[in-house]
């Protein structure tokens, strides 16, 4: 199991409702692309965190399909991010370590 966390902060001119709708639509698009789950959480009045899970960390390497890209850009229109955090479970982390010849 792999996970991705992306923190989004509302842009000054954006409405909070727009941020919530955009985050919801982005999560729906990520699930439609094959993620195991994708949810967003408010972390304050001006910020959300999107938490997505997938069976493989490689899911997060693929280019988004058109619907996913459209949802991503709609979210970026109302919020900014400094990039995702990618998490992998211990088994996948150990496999990556071994594949590096360690």
What's the CA gap between 61 and 2, in Å, rounded? Answer: 12
Which is more confident, 100 or 72? 72
Give kind and range of the element (H or E) at residue 102: none
Tell me, what's the pLDDT at 86?
85
Tell me, what's the pLDDT at 90?
86
The tokens of 78 are what? 């109302």
pLDDT digits (tens, 9 = 90+) for 24-76: 999 999 999 999 999 999 999 999 999 999 998 889 988 899 999 999 999 99
CATH level 3 topology of 2-99: Alpha-Beta Plaits (3.30.70)
pTM listed for this prediction: 0.86
Residue ranges of domains in the chain: 2-99
pLDDT greater than 90 at residue 101: no
Say whether 28 sits in a helix, a strand or coil: helix
Tell me, what's the pLDDT at 94?
87
Tell me, what's the pLDDT at 27?
98
């Amino acid at each position: 199991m792999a996970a991705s966390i992306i923190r989004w902060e509302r842009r000054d001119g954006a409405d909070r409702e727009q941020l919530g709708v955009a985050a919801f639509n982005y999560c729906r698009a990520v699930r439609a692309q094959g993620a195991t789950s994708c949810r967003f959480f408010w972390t304050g009045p001006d910020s959300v965190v999107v938490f997505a899970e997938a069976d493989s960390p490689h899911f997060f390497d693929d280019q988004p399909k058109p619907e996913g890209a459209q949802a991503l850009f709609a979210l970026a229109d109302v919020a900014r991010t400094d990039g995702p955090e990618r998490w992998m479970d211990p088994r996948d982390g150990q496999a990556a370590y071994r594949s590096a010849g360690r």
